[in-house]
Amino acid sequence: MKLQIMAARWQGEIDVPSSKSMGHRHLIAAALSRDTSYIKGITPSDDIEATIEVLRSLGVDIQRQAEVRPHRYTYLVQGGMQSYSHPIVCDARESASTLRLLLPLAIYSDNKVLFTGRGRLTQRSLAPYQALCMKQGIYWQQSEHTFPLTVQGHWTAGTMALRGDISSQFFSGLLFVLPLLKESSTVISTTPLESAGYVNLTCACLREHGVAIQAKENAVYFIRGGQTYRAGTYHVEGDYSQAAFWLAAGVLRGTLTCSGLNRNSLQGDRQILALLQQMGGHVGWEGDKLTARQSNLQGIDIDVSSCPDLFPVLAAVGTQATGVTRLYHAARLRYKESDRLHAMATALQTLGATVTERADQLCIVGPTPLRGGTVSGSRDHRIVMALAILAPFCQHALQIEDAQAVVKSYPCFWQDIQKVGGILTQEETI
Ligand SMILES: O=C(O)C1=C[C@@H](OP(=O)(O)O)[C@@H](O)[C@H](O)C1
Ligand SMILES: C=C(OP(=O)(O)O)C(=O)O
């Protein structure tokens, strides 16, 4: 779908959708208890639905109830996976979090599990799990294009060493399952661990569900065996990775307020606040809401290794900041829903921005007026959303292809953009 977006400025308030990362984690932890949990405040998205469907395929009973707040649901999760006499199919759709967080659990469930998936997920690595499963004697059968992937076997507690330079999601996945084994385990990263903040988020979520992980120096995790997950009521806080688009839109052109965020959140992407401030952005708390106001922005150097999901929006902001914005340590961005380094470089260049793509970084020299016209969203939700907020800078109407990609994390994005001043026209349906 190609959407035309026009806007003079951004103005208004957004109730930020629930954190996708926290949503996945709370649902999984609830599925591992033996009682009913209530996970509140979830904004469904394609990725969250993928996690729910995989958990249901594993025998977990999950129902939902609409809340008063628009687009919010409480999920009632009756914990406990089932063991079936036939192979079961689990569809991770395009969500790497779903696949990588749930694959260890699927093995633990005592089933023969056949995973499927689509789009870019067919190219995203599972090498650390494959190597580990080989060592553990767990059956692993994979086609050339990842799916179908069949796994079956039993985890043996002990020391597990795996690469941490591909994705932190492999570590999070193991941390969910290892506390359930009788004996204790240690998980070690054989490389510096990238996106480590997401593993901290996993540990914090597990703690809330009654499970303790001891995080030691240098990405070593000690996991006591024989633990049990506690059922309860949990609230999923707002998503800083999504708030980032609105905060960026505000400092670029307008005034935007975000509600629903936890001021003391452990989400790594909370650093969008500090990063925009370092660029000269007026962003600050007013009570429990975060407001961003139009500012004169300066380019800065940003290491995106701990906040990869902020890369597209920071690149967009860089086009309107004075001087050089250098987003470095970004090579892993080539293996997300698109090659995000190349996708952003190409789209911004098409719009008229001055951008240089290097192997592991993007350099943007600004500020530049943008031409507008048609750009590819690279079938990637974060690329689409990052480009959309540039609409006020475009001399001709901005038209974004693959606009439907937002459903992966933020199905209401286009409704929200209209609330804050965007005028949308659907150009064509593919
Ligand atoms: O654990 C998580 O919830 C996530 C971890 C990150 O992935 P990597 O660890 O692969 O960087 C992030 O990019 C992804 O959107 C969500
Ligand atoms: C990379 C992302 O998600 P996942 O890795 O779960 O597919 C994302 O949401 O930007």
How does pLDDT run across 221-247, given as a tens digit for each residue? Answer: 999 999 999 999 999 999 999 999 999
429 pLDDT higher than 60: no
List the structure tokens of 419. Answer: 């609330």
| CA-166 nearest atom, ligand 1 | 10
Place of tokens 């974060």: 382
Q: Does 309 participate in catalysis according to the annotation? A: yes
pLDDT digits (tens, 9 = 90+) for 67-117: 999 999 999 999 999 999 999 999 999 999 999 999 999 999 999 999 999
Tell me if 309 is assigned to a ligand binding site. Answer: yes
| Probe residue for ligand 2, chosen from 97, 123, 385 as the CB with the greatest number of ligand atoms within 8 Å | 97
Q: Which ligand is nearest to the CA of 242?
A: 2
* SS3 of 211-253: CCEEEECCCEEEECCCCCECCCEEECCECHHHHHHHHHHHHHC
**Residue 21 annotated as part of some ligand binding site:** yes
**Ligand 2 mutation pick, 19, 22, 313, 337, max ligand atoms within 8 A of CB:** 337
CA of 48 to the centre of ligand 2 (A): 11
Inter-axis angle of helices 20-31 and 169-177, nearest 10: 20
CATH hierarchy code of domain 3-17+238-426: 3.65.10.10
The candidate with the shortest Cα–Cα distance to 251, out of 275, 226, 219, 224, is 275
pLDDT exceeds 80 at position 323: yes
* CATH classification number, 20-232, choose in 3.90.79.10, 3.40.50.720, 3.40.50.300, 3.65.10.10: 3.65.10.10
d(CA 125, CA 356): 27
pLDDT digits (tens, 9 = 90+) for 168-191: 999 999 999 999 999 999 999 999
Average pLDDT in the 408-416 region?
98
How far apart are alpha carbons 317 and 249 in whole angstroms?
Answer: 8
Q: Compute the distance between CA of residue 18 and CA of residue 15 in angstroms, rounded to an integer.
A: 9
Average pLDDT of the segment spanning 138-153: 94
DSSP 317-348: HHTTSBEEEEEES-GGGGGSSS-HHHHHHHHH
pTM (predicted TM-score): 0.98
Average pLDDT over the chain, rounded to an integer: 97
**Ligand 2 interacting residues, C-beta cut-off 6 A:** 47, 95-97, 309, 336-337, 382, 409
For residues 186 and 131, give the distance between their C-alpha atoms in angstroms, rounded to a whole number. 16
Residue keyed to tokens 């120096």? 217
Helix (H) or strand (E) holding 149: strand 146-152
296 Cα–ligand 2 center, Å: 31
Token output for 74: 């409480």
| 255-282 mean pLDDT | 98
Nearest residue (CA) to ligand 2, atom 4: 96
pLDDT at 430 over 50: no
Cα distance between residue 62 and residue 51, in whole Å = 11
**20 labeled part of a ligand binding site:** yes
- What is the model's pLDDT at position 144? 81
Alpha carbons 42 and 102: distance in angstroms, whole number: 19
Element (H, E) at 292: strand 289-293
Helix, strand or coil, per DSSP, at residue 376: coil
CA dihedral 89, 92, 93, 94 (to 10 degrees): -150
Q: Which ligand lies nearest the alpha carbon of 173?
A: 1
pLDDT tops 60 at residue 393: yes
For CATH 3.65.10.10, list the domain ranges present in the chain: 3-17+238-426, 20-232
Query: Which value, to the nearest 10 degrees, does the dihedral of the CA atoms of residues 56, 59, 60, 61 take?
Result: 80
**Residue 427, pLDDT above cutoff 80:** no
Q: Is 168:95 a contact under the CB 8 Å cutoff?
A: no
**CA geometry: angle 317, 21, 375, nearest 5 deg:** 35
**Reduced DSSP (H G I as helix, E B as strand, rest coil) percent helix, strand, coil of the chain, to 5:** 35, 30, 35
Q: What is the ipTM of this complex?
A: 0.99
* Measured distance CA(306)–CA(274) in Å, rounded: 14
112 carries a ligand binding annotation: no
Phi, psi of 396 (to 5 degrees): -110, 160
Q: What is the pLDDT of residues 35-44, one digit of tens each?
A: 999 999 999 9
Model confidence pLDDT, tens digit, residues 1-48:
999 999 999 999 999 999 999 999 999 999 999 999 999 999 999 999
Whether 118 contacts 93, CB under 8 Å: yes
Out of 46, 47, 239, 309, which one is annotated catalytic? 309
Tell how far the Cα of 134 is from the centroid of ligand 2, in angstroms.
26
376 lines ligand 1 (CB under 6 A): no
3-state DSSP call for residue 186? strand
Span 264-278, mean pLDDT? 98
Q: Is 168 annotated as a binding residue?
A: yes
